[in-house]
Amino acid sequence: MTDAYITRLARCISRMDGKYYDYAKRSMAAENEVYVLYTLSDGGEHSQKNICDDWHIPKTTVNTVANKMRADGYIEFTKTDGREKLMRLTPKGAEYAERALTLIHSAENYAIKRTLERYSAAFVDAMEAFTAFFMEFDEGYDG
């Protein structure tokens, strides 16, 4: 029975990853730029390493995207956190992110609204717990 749940969940995750990829390709921004914009659109400061870890994009790719977005006036580097430079969106970048992420955010808002109507906020708590346990396994795996 557990295997059936795992298979269903893995398929859902794969389909969602594919849909994020599809929405990113349909946006006005380059695909990897969308992932950088998505992370920075929370208004905070993030390192390139943070973006690499969250989206599984090579650091050289994120660095190339960040430098282009900086040259375009969309991001600025703010300070250094240890060895990592932090970056954030400029006002121009925030406007660009809003336009570029409209489709993704609309799809997310539609899906979460429909899901929470049916299942409650415990759904998100459960997904966070599953993700944490899934990540935790790798930390102790030596096989």
Residues 141, 111 within the same domain: yes
pLDDT band at 101 (very low <50, low <70, confident <90, very high): very high
Residues 45, 13 within the same domain: no
Axis-axis angle for helices 48-55, 59-71 (nearest 10): 120
Residues 122, 76 within the same domain: no
pLDDT band at 1 (very low <50, low <70, confident <90, very high): low
pLDDT at 143: 60
Residue 12 belongs to what domain range?
1-27+101-143
Residues 7-61: tens digit of each pLDDT? 999 999 999 989 988 988 898 888 889 999 999 999 999 999 999 998 889 999 9
How far apart CA 143 and CA 122 sit, in angstroms, is 33
Residues 23, 35 within the same domain: no
Residues 62, 86 within the same domain: yes
Q: How many domains does the chain have?
A: 2
Say whether pLDDT at 63 is over 90: yes
Closest CA to 74 of 18, 33, 28, 24: 33
Residues 16, 52 within the same domain: no
How far apart CA 41 and CA 33 sit, in angstroms, is 12
Strand order in the sheet with 75-81: 46-47, 84-89, 75-81
